[in-house]
Amino acid sequence: MNPQLYPNLISKLLKAGANDAYLTPILMKKGRPAHTLSVLCDEQIESDLMNIIYQETTTIGMRSYKVIKRHLERKLVKIKTSLGEIQVKEIVLPNDTIKRVPEFDDCLRIADKKNIAVKFVYDKVFSEIN
């Protein structure tokens, strides 16, 4: 399959409701390079997403299996920083401490607006909120 088709495929899967979609490079029999497409979704939309995959790729078959998802409690909050207001993910760890992580898109927005490196924004905001 032409790899130029992958970004559009992933975009369509996400727009159709997939929780995530990604490619993993692998080696097939006889050392042939390939990619495994992984799509995480709710069971109710599995067949819709499979139809997209059949229409948009060269595959003639798929495997599916149930996955158990475990995640930490988290919420988005807005915090004022020296560089401006930014959304931060507050994550409650198992020992009840809170870890804060800046939202990258907000860091990128501030970096573009101030014409500074996004890494600088991320690092500065991270140090201010933790």
Whether 86 and 52 map to the same domain: the answer is: no
Q: What is the pTM of this model?
A: 0.73
Q: Is 45 exposed, middle or buried (0-12, 13-18, 19+ CB in 10 A)?
A: middle
Whether 52 and 90 map to the same domain: the answer is: no
Whether 43 and 79 map to the same domain: the answer is: no
Domain ranges, residue 37: 3-56
- Asked if the structure places residue 68 within a domain, the reply is no
CA gap 57, 36 in Å, rounded: 12
**How many domains does one find in the chain?**
2
**Res 130: pLDDT:** 86
CA gap 90, 107 in Å, rounded: 16
Mean pLDDT by 10 residues, the chain (130 residues): 95 98 96 95 97 97 93 94 95 94 96 96 94
